[in-house]
Structure 1
Amino acid sequence: MSNVLLDTGLGSFARSLGDDPASSALNELERRVDEAVVRAFRDGDPAAELELHRFLYEVNAHRLLPPWSAHWHDYEHPALLAARRKAQAAWLARDRAVLGADVRVPAAAEEFAAWATKTCEGHESGVTHPLFGFLADEATFDQLRTFLSQETPFDIHFGDLVALLLPGVHGELKIELAGNFWDEMGRGSADLTHRRLRVSMMERVGVPPDGYLTDVDDFWLEELRLANLYFQTAADRRLAPQAVGMLLATELVVPGRIERQIDGWRRVGLTDPEMHYLREHVTVDVEHAQGWLDHVVVPLARTRPDLLPEIALGVLRRLDAALRVCDRAWNELRSMA
Structure 2
Amino acid sequence: MTQMDVKPGATTTTELSGLVRSVAADPSADALHELERRADEVSIRAFGDDDPAAELEAQRFLYEVYAHRILPPWSPDWRDYTDPVVVNAHRRVGDAWLARDRKVYGAGLEIPTTPEGFGKWATVVCEEHASGVTHPLFDFLAERATFEQLREFQAQETPFDIHFGDLVALLLPGIHGGQKIELAGNFWDEMGNGKLAGTHRQLRLDMMKRIGVPADDYLSNVDFYWVEELRMANMYFQTSADRSLAPQAIGMLQATELVVPGRLERQIEGWRRVGLTDAEMHYLLEHVVVDVEHAEGWLNHVIAPLAAARPDMLPEVAIGILRRLDCALAVCDRAMRDIA
Q: TM-score, normalised by structure 1?
A: 0.96
**2:65 alignment counterpart:** 59
Which of 191, 209, 221 is the equivalent residue of 1:185? 191
Q: Report how far residue 109 of structure 1 moved.
A: 1.1
Q: Report how far residue 42 of structure 1 moved.
A: 1.1
Q: Does 1:150 align with 2:156?
A: yes
Q: Which moved more, 1:302-311 or 1:13-22?
A: 13-22
Cα deviation code 1:275-295 (max 9, x no counterpart): 000000111000000000000
**2:309 alignment counterpart:** 303
Alignment of 1:156-167 (within 5 A): 156-167=162-173
**Which letter does structure 2 place at the counterpart of 1:325?**
V
Q: Does 1:287 align with 2:293?
A: yes
Which of 74, 79, 83 is the equivalent residue of 1:77? 83
Q: Does 1:12 align with 2:18?
A: yes
Distance across 2 between alignment mates of 1:21 and 1:51: 21
**Which letter does structure 1 place at the counterpart of 2:169?**
A
Cα deviation code 1:202-229 (max 9, x no counterpart): 0111100000000001100000000000
Alignment of 1:245-284 (within 5 A): 245-284=251-290
Q: Report how far residue 14 of structure 1 moved.
A: 1.0
Q: Report how far residue 8 of structure 1 moved.
A: 3.6
Secondary structure of residue in 2 paired with 1:75: coil
Secondary structure of residue in 1 paired with 2:46: helix
Percent identical: 67
**Which letter does structure 1 place at the counterpart of 2:32?**
L
Hey, which bits of structure 1, 4+ residues long, moved more than 4 A?
Answer: none
Q: Does 1:230 align with 2:236?
A: yes
Which of 93, 113, 120 is the equivalent residue of 1:114? 120
**Which letter does structure 2 place at the counterpart of 1:189?**
K
Distance across 1 between alignment mates of 2:224 and 2:265: 26
Distance across 1 between alignment mates of 2:47 and 2:41: 10
Distance across 2 between alignment mates of 1:9 and 1:203: 32
Q: TM-score, normalised by structure 2?
A: 0.96
Distance across 2 between alignment mates of 1:221 and 1:38: 17
**Which letter does structure 2 place at the counterpart of 1:79?**
V
Distance across 1 between alignment mates of 2:322 and 2:116: 18
Cα deviation code 1:237-290 (max 9, x no counterpart): 000000000000000111210010001111111111000000001110000000
Structure 1 residues without counterparts, runs of 5 or longer:
none
Distance across 2 between alignment mates of 1:19 and 1:304: 45
Secondary structure of residue in 1 paired with 2:20: helix
Alignment of 1:36-55 (within 5 A): 36-55=42-61
Which of 130, 138, 143 is the equivalent residue of 1:132? 138
**Which letter does structure 1 place at the counterpart of 2:146?**
T
**Pairwise CA RMSD of aligned residues?**
1.1
Cα deviation code 1:113-144 (max 9, x no counterpart): 00000000110000000000000001111111
**1:195 alignment counterpart:** 201
Distance across 2 between alignment mates of 1:197 and 1:31: 42
Across the two proteins, how many residue pairs are aligned to each other? 330
Distance across 2 between alignment mates of 1:144 and 1:102: 39
Secondary structure of residue in 1 paired with 2:293: helix
Which of 324, 327, 337 is the equivalent residue of 1:321? 327
Structure 2 residues without counterparts, runs of 5 or longer:
1-10
Which of 65, 72, 97 is the equivalent residue of 2:103? 97
Q: Report how far residue 19 of structure 1 moved.
A: 5.1
Distance across 1 between alignment mates of 2:326 and 2:132: 11
Secondary structure of residue in 2 paired with 1:90: helix
Distance across 2 between alignment mates of 1:23 and 1:10: 16
Q: Report how far residue 12 of structure 1 moved.
A: 2.0
Q: Report how far residue 20 of structure 1 moved.
A: 5.0
Q: Report how far residue 45 of structure 1 moved.
A: 0.4
Distance across 1 between alignment mates of 2:251 and 2:179: 13
**1:24 alignment counterpart:** 30
